[in-house]
Amino acid sequence: MRFGVISTANIGLKAVVPAIARSEHEVGAIASRDEAQARAVADEHGIDRAYGSYEALLADDDIDAVYNPLPNAMHAEWTRKAADAGLDVLCEKPLAVDAAEARDVVAYCEDAGVTIMEAFMYRYHPRTRRAREIVTEELDAVRGAHATFQFPLRERPGDIRLDPDLAGGSLMDVGCYAVNVTRTLLGEPDAVSARTVDSRDCGVDTHVAAQLAYDGATAQVSASFDTQDVQRYRIEAENGWLEAPADAFNPRGDEVELRYAVDGREVVETFPAGDQYRLQVEHFADCVESGRTPETDGEEAVANMRVVDAIYESADDGGRVTID
């Protein structure tokens, strides 16, 4: 598969473009609104073609699919335009600014006959798959969970993560991971209560904490740009527990751990830190080729945004929000 990359965003250049290169696929072209910037990046990464507009890349007949790492508020627009060009899309999370827009994008891609996949790369790591297996098959009566993704964001001029017009905020940037892993392991919550903080007076949340209510269980999710680097999740059940104690979403170093206890038996499993971005790319390409539905497909993206929407609604009005 030959990918076209729209934007020279850091996540693409540092993670996804190199991951594509390590797979059996390739990046055939990259686009920026600054053609010189696109050419410099293309030269650095060994990409054949560079374009000074996203439209020009979408018109390239040698491209099979698009990777879309644009700012959050631009995901839906350029995913639709890629679909208009008949191109399958691997789109960075979140797929859209809210659940309604996500539903519209999913329907648009279905009508165009193209595959859409949301780039929650951690879902393709073997540790995440093993965690889901243990929670589903070995833990009985889950009663609680906690998931968090926090890091200290240095304030820089023009940072899209602090721009309300580009759908920034800690929840949209990293909190969506905490929401996603909670839904992946526990299912869909019934209601949400939440609070947010805008510590920098920038118009977006820089810290968020929410409680998700389930039938017989509760889950705490949080995210922050203001605190120290923490990525972890933990599940509590009547007969045991499970936790990814560190680097839960972005594994670093040589290996990562999954710890759990079932019926008094405690276990530590280790996994190579691995290449979850490559696994994500390969899953996407395999689904396009086979016609299978991706694990993090459009409907999954809509479901995640329903919870994100409810968190924002609860934080805005201070009340408990029921999720339909």
Secondary structure, 3-state, 213-224: EECCEEEEEEEE
Residues 142 and 160 in one domain: yes
Q: Which residues of the chain have pLDDT under 50?
A: none
Number of domains in the chain: 2
Is residue 34 one of the residues assigned to a domain? yes
Domain boundary among 88, 119, 150: 119
* All residues at 6 or more sequence positions from 136 whose CB lies less than 8 Å from its CB, including other chains: none
pLDDT of residue 266: 98
Q: Which helix (H) or strand (E) holds 137?
A: helix 126-137
Residues 195 and 315 in one domain: yes
CATH value at residue 228: 3.30.360.10
Pairing state between β 207-214 and 191-197: antiparallel
pLDDT of residue 85: 98
Residues 26 and 94 in one domain: yes
Is residue 285 one of the residues assigned to a domain? no
For residue 231, list its beta bridge partners. Answer: 149
Residues 152 and 44 in one domain: no
Model pLDDT for residues 228-257, shown as the tens digit of each residue:
999 999 999 999 999 999 999 999 989 999
Domain boundary among 65, 92, 119: 119
> How many alpha carbons lie under 13 Å from residue 260 in its C-beta half-sphere?
26
Is residue 289 one of the residues assigned to a domain? no
Residues 132 and 275 in one domain: yes
Residues 86 and 151 in one domain: no
Domain boundary among 74, 102, 119: 119
Is residue 297 one of the residues assigned to a domain? no
Model pLDDT for residues 82-100, shown as the tens digit of each residue:
999 999 999 999 999 999 9
Is residue 110 one of the residues assigned to a domain? yes
Pairing state between β 217-224 and 49-51: unpaired
Radius of gyration, alpha carbons of the chain:
20
Residues 184 and 317 in one domain: yes
Residues 38 and 169 in one domain: no
Residues 174 and 239 in one domain: yes
CATH value at residue 97: 3.40.50.720
C-beta separation of 74 from 9 below 8 A: no
pLDDT of residue 156: 85
C-beta separation of 247 from 253 below 8 A: yes
Is residue 104 one of the residues assigned to a domain? yes
Is residue 220 one of the residues assigned to a domain? yes
Residues 147 and 215 in one domain: yes
The backbone region for 195, taken as left when phi is positive above 0, alpha when psi lies in -120 to 50, beta otherwise, is beta
Angle, helices 99-112 vs 298-317, to 10°: value is 160
Residues 167 and 309 in one domain: yes
Residues 128 and 180 in one domain: yes
Model pLDDT for residues 151-171, shown as the tens digit of each residue:
999 988 889 999 999 999 999
Looking at residue 292, its amino acid is R
Alpha carbon 209 to its chain centroid, in Å, reads 18
For residue 233, list its beta bridge partners. Answer: 147, 244
In terms of Cα–Cα distance, which of 22, 103, 315 is closest to 192? 315
pLDDT of residue 157: 84
The model carries a pTM of: 0.97
Is residue 290 one of the residues assigned to a domain? no
CA distance readout (Å), 115 to 107, 118, 251, 295, 305: 11, 10, 27, 12, 19
Range of the domain at 13: 2-119
